[in-house]
């Protein structure tokens, strides 16, 4: 297993997940200010999201790409997003349908990429621009929803904006999944 800064950043992203999760389960007697918890959780998530971009950039720039890094990076991304979505649904900050669409797509596309890799055609389902737009909308939506608590009587503007972006992320999620499936079908027809 190669050790370099991009892979260490990916491992850091994985290690942030339990810290991020524990914040949601701290007793009120330890931290009475739930807004502080929201800001800390959003900060940890933002740090993890930034390392997602930064590790790929550094790996390409320093020519430190590896098969292990190519495997670990998407695993870290999917773990981070799945945990965040589950916590957001559990705390009433977003809708279960959004989480099901996004997590379901991630599992489907991961399985498709694995299958295509076994056939020697992984490049046919390489990351496309639509996937990058989906990821950006999803990361910003999750960040915003982590900042706010679940609405009680009237939703606040951060919650509304976060869920509008989550809806956009879901639309892009389905669109990108259909794009990748279409690319895979082309390969099967050849």
CATH number of the domain encompassing residue 20: 1.20.120.1760
- Residues 152 and 174: their CA atoms lie apart, in Å, by 30
Q: What is the pLDDT of residues 83-117, one digit of tens each?
A: 999 999 999 999 999 999 999 999 988 888 777 77
- Is 85:98 a contact under the CB 8 Å cutoff? yes
Residue 153 pLDDT > 60: no
Number of independent structural domains in the chain: 1
Range of the domain at 65: 5-189
Instruction: State the pTM of this model.
Output: 0.87
- Coil, strand or helix: which one is 156? coil
Higher pLDDT, 62 or 78: 78
Retrieve residue 68's tokens: 């292990």
What digits encode the pLDDT tens for the residues 25-65? 888 788 878 788 889 999 999 999 898 888 877 878 888 77
Alpha helices by DSSP H, listed for the chain, are 5-24, 34-61, 67-90, 96-118, 129-147, 157-189
């Amino acid at each position: 297993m190669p050790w370099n800064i991009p892979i260490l950043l990916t491992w850091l992203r994985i290690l942030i997940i339990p810290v991020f999760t524990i914040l949601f389960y701290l007793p009120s007697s330890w931290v009475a200010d739930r807004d502080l918890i929201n800001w800390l959780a959003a900060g940890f998530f933002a740090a993890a999201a930034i390392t997602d971009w930064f590790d790929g950039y550094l790996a390409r720039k320093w020519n430190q790409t590896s098969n292990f890094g190519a495997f670990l990076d998407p695993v870290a991304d999917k773990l981070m997003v799945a945990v965040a979505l589950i916590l957001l649904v559990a705390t009433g900050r977003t809708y279960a349908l959004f989480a099901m669409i996004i997590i379901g797509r991630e599992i489907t596309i991961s399985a498709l990429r694995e299958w295509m890799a076994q056939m020697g055609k992984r490049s046919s389902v390489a990351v496309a621009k639509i996937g990058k737009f989906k990821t950006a909308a999803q990361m910003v939506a999750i960040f915003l929803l982590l900042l706010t608590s679940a609405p009680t009587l009237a939703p606040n503007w951060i919650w509304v904006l976060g869920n509008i972006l989550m809806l956009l992320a879901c639309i892009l999620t389905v669109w990108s999944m259909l794009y990748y499936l279409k690319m895979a079908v082309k390969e099967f027809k050849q």
